């Protein structure tokens, strides 16, 4: 099974920054349909601040995830700062002692990110949140690990699963956040957090593939 070097993973973080910057307006437009309309703006603020503070420094993939997570926790508004901050710092913790990162390692990192998240939010699959994207991605990686699939193939399958999970939120009624006040009227619109989660997982996967 192929691996990538933890020390080369800084490029993955910058790819994640780039995808948020490019999709700032798109994410805010989606959010404006049933939410506050500031998801893209807030995410862009946090990711761009991370870029400003760390783009000229060398860091491991695991270190970059911690730096990004702490930046999001401390410097962006709304619920997304703590949510994404928890995911990324959890991933960092699981990968902190690794020199090379395998498919098994990456799957464990993402699972640890979700483990931390599950301790601060109660949302489950079907509740119209980013969990609808994150859990299918994790399950896809688990399956690929069990099948001993190639890392690249596993990442491509993860992207497909994450996209399907994000798209599924259009069919759900929101149970959390401002959108929950709309009840049945929240059905028919994508959850913005699920979309940003897909974009980030996709950027992560595409960038890791170039390192394999």
> To the nearest 5 percent, what fractions of the chain are helix, strand and coil?
75, 5, 25
Choices 1.10.760.10, 3.20.20.80, 3.30.70.20, 1.25.40.340: CATH for 3-211: 1.25.40.340
**What are the average pLDDT values for consecutive 10-residue runs of the chain, which has 212 residues?**
92 97 96 87 96 94 98 87 97 98 98 97 94 98 97 98 97 73 74 96 98 96
Handedness of CA 59, 63, 64, 68 (dihedral sign): negative
Burial class of residue 152 in the structure, from the number of CB atoms within 10 Å of its CB (0-12 exposed, 13-18 middle, 19+ buried): middle
What's the confidence (pLDDT) of residue 180? 60
Residues 6+ apart with CB under 8 A from 156: 205, 209
> How would you write 29-76 as a 3-class SS string?
HHHHHHCCCCHHHHHHHHHHHHHHHHCCCCCCHHHHHHHHHHHHHHHC
């Amino acid at each position: 099974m192929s691996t990538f070097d933890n020390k080369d993973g800084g490029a993955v973080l910058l790819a994640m920054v780039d995808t948020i910057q490019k999709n700032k307006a798109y994410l805010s437009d989606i959010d404006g349909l049933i939410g506050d309309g500031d998801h893209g703006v807030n995410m862009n603020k946090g990711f761009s601040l991370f870029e400003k503070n760390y783009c000229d420094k060398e860091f491991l993939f695991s270190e970059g995830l911690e730096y990004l997570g702490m930046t999001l926790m401390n410097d962006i508004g709304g619920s997304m700062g703590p949510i994404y901050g928890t995911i990324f710092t959890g991933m960092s913790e699981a990968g902190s002692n690794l020199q090379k990162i395998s498919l098994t390692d990456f799957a464990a990192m993402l699972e640890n990110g979700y483990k931390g998240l599950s301790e601060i939010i109660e949302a489950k699959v079907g509740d119209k949140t980013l969990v609808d994207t994150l859990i299918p991605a994790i399950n896809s990686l688990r399956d690929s690990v069990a099948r001993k699939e190639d890392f690249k193939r596993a990442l491509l399958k993860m992207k497909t699963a994450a996209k399907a999970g994000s798209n599924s939120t259009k069919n759900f009624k929101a149970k959390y956040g401002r959108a929950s006040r709309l009840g049945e009227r929240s059905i028919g619109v994508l959850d913005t957090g699920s979309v940003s989660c897909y974009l980030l997982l996709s950027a992560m996967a595409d960038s890791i593939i170039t390192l394999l």
